[in-house]
Structure 1
Amino acid sequence: MGTILTHQDDWLHILLQSPKSTPKLSSSWISDHHDSHGGRAMEEDQLYRPGPTAEYLGSTVNTLAYWRYVGQGPAFIKIGRNVSYRGSDVKAWLQAQTRTRTGEHASA
């Protein structure tokens, strides 16, 4: 059974110390504040797993996996097999998707 961690630095430290352990992110990593994207706010300096990230973007985990494969989605962090997204990277990518007309390409 994995260790439940509440701080990003703790999670990274343990993951780097013992690569065979799989730490679990505690529910405190996901803000309880609501906003217009999927019902949850995304904190700038937090790491989010694909599930909460997909919920925030109104997408699916499979779509995020496809975007990672083709290099289209938000920047992500990969340590071993674990994929996470920084709140600031997701917000920046979302902002870059803003368009003023249909045929316009995303700016990033």
Structure 2
Amino acid sequence: MQVPCVLTDISGCREVVIPGYSGLLVPPGDVKALAEALVTLLSNQDLARRMGEAGRVQAIAHFDERAVFARVKAEYARLLQEQGLTVPAPLRPEVTPAGVAYDC
């Protein structure tokens, strides 16, 4: 089972989950809300499982290193083009070595 997230509703955390879908957000310093969120997930295994799985899919789609690198590369290209500069060609082809795998 993937583990659902309960996060504080602050910058950096709120960008990680879709509230009610891939995790839960609680107000900063609100112990009662934190306890209620934890009880909700602990008492509803199906909800916890669905949120955990949705969180994993979301993490891979948005926070996998390849996705992050692609966004950074696209932003650099946009900034270069904005200045009227051309995007340099890659020094080597972008390939994934055979046998490379990972598990989240």
TM-score normalised by length of structure 2: 0.25
**Greater CA radius of gyration, 1 or 2?**
2
Task: Give the structure with the higher percent strand.
Answer: 1
Higher helix share: 2
**Higher relative contact order at CA 8 Å, sep ≥6: structure 1 or structure 2?**
2
